[in-house]
Amino acid sequence: MAGYGALAEVYEWLISDAKVTPSEFAAAFNDVVTLLPPDARVLDCSCGTGQLAVGLAGLGMRVVATDASAAMVRRTGELAEELGASVRAVRAGWEELPGLFDDESFDMVFCVGNSLHHVEGARARSAALESMSRLLRPGGRLVLTSRNWELVRAGGSRLVIRSQLVRRNGRDAVVAYRWEIAPHWEQEHRIEIAVAQLGAGGSVDVCSELLSSWPYRHDDLTSELQGVGLTVERSTFDPTAEDYTVVATKD
Ligand SMILES: C[S@@+](CC[C@H](N)C(=O)[O-])C[C@H]1O[C@@H](n2cnc3c(N)ncnc32)[C@H](O)[C@@H]1O
């Protein structure tokens, strides 16, 4: 289950300020992007509303953006058109990628913004990583960002309401996350995300969606990457930090 049909429409309230501007989102990956040739072929395989893909295209790269959610792909296409960026946006889940693109045809693949946990369990996760690996040329890199699921699970089931209003497109919203943490790692977890936009005269427009999640430990992710021919070159994993980035190279 990919989800994000409803949340795609309010996704800007869910991303950090730094991700709203395409050039700023791409700049967050400067350390790896600067290793690429100027006309590199890159894939953002969980593109969301497209800010990273558009930012990379702005650097002159040949960018393909894919996502399992048709609504996300539509928004990516709209953003690219609005900003005059050349991005090929295609609806595709990770498992479909090898049927759509040649093996070894990308220099870099991005799977960022806490996306991988939506795939159903360890076997499907490895299959998704295998798809990403197949598309990379030897020496190419997968860039993956993740929540620290060790910390998320330690927090248990809970409701988290963000302590600051988020302002986008001239409207403020309250953002809330309801976590359903299962007793065991390998079980389905759930996250309900709500964006409550404050309107004129005290009205509140709520958009929410219940998403499924299969979390993983950092060590398991490292082994799974190794299992599909990707060697972790660097990882920012810190047991006390909420998120981390892994860069893995195709053997
Ligand atoms: C939290 S959003 C991250 C979006 C974007 N990368 C960002 O950083 O803002 C997770 C994305 O993963 C996508 N996704 C979930 N399951 C997927 C799958 N099986 N294949 C491809 N994309 C998937 C969702 O549709 C959603 O756009």
37-70 pLDDT, tens digit each: 989 999 999 999 999 999 999 999 999 999 999 9
Q: How confident is the model at residue 2 (pLDDT cuts 50, 70, 90)?
A: low
Q: What would the pLDDT profile of 159-168 be if each residue is shown by its tens digit?
A: 999 999 999 9
DSSP code string of 176-203: EEEEE--SSTTS-EEEEEEEEEE-GGG-
- Residue 1 confidence (pLDDT) above 80: no
Residue nearest to atom 13 of ligand 1 (CA): 46
Q: Is the pLDDT of residue 135 over 90?
A: yes
CB of 76 sitting under 6 A from ligand 1: no
Mean pLDDT of 180-200: 97
Q: Is 127 helix (H, G, I), strand (E, B) or coil?
A: helix
Q: Does residue 69 line the site of ligand 1, with CB under 6 A?
A: yes
> Rounded to a whole number, what is the distance in angstroms from the first to the last CA of the chain?
31
Check residue 38 and give its pLDDT: 82
CA distance 151 to 240: 7
Amino acid (1-letter code) at residue 169: N
**pLDDT over 80 (residue 73):** yes
| Residue 85, pLDDT above cutoff 90 | yes
Which tokens is 60 given?
A: 């002159």
What is the reported pLDDT for 76? 98
Cβ–ligand 1 contact at 140 (below 6 Å): no
| Residue 192 identity | E
112 lines ligand 1 (CB under 6 A): yes
Q: Is 7 in the pocket of ligand 1 (CB under 6 A)?
A: no
Read off the pLDDT of each residue in 108-137 and give the average, rounded to a whole number: 98
The neighbouring-strand residues paired with 108 are 42, 141
In angstroms, what is the span from residue 183 Cα to ligand 1's centroid?
A: 25
The reply to whether ligand 1 has any atom less than 6 angstroms from the CB of 145 is no
- What is the pLDDT averaged over residues 205-232? 98
| Ramachandran class of 202: left when φ > 0, alpha when ψ lies in -120 to 50, beta otherwise | left
Whether 247 shows a pLDDT value over 80: the answer reads yes
Ligand 1: residue of 118, 131, 193, 245 to mutate (most ligand atoms within 8 A of CB) is: 118
Q: Which pLDDT band, with edges at 50, 70 and 90, does 84 fall under?
A: very high
Residue 119 Cα to ligand 1 midpoint, Å, equals 10
Average pLDDT, rounded, for the chain: 97
> Closest Cα to atom 26, ligand 1: which residue?
48
Residue 226: the pLDDT is: 98
| Domains of the chain, CATH where assigned | 7-149+216-250 (3.40.50.150), 151-213 (2.20.130)
Rounded to whole angstroms, the Cα distance separating 244 from 214 reads 17
The answer to whether 114 and 120 have CB atoms below 8 angstroms apart is no
* Ligand 1 within 6 A of CB of 93: yes
Which ligand 1 atom is at minimum distance from the Cα of 94?
Answer: 20
Region 112-134 average pLDDT: 98
Answer whether 94 contacts ligand 1 (Cβ < 6 A). yes
Is residue 48 lining ligand 1, measured as CB closer than 6 Å? yes
Nearest partner of 23 among 48, 58, 47, judged by Cα: 58
174 Cα to the center of ligand 1, angstroms: 22
Task: Answer whether 125 contacts ligand 1 (Cβ < 6 A).
Answer: no
What is the per-residue pLDDT for 238? 98
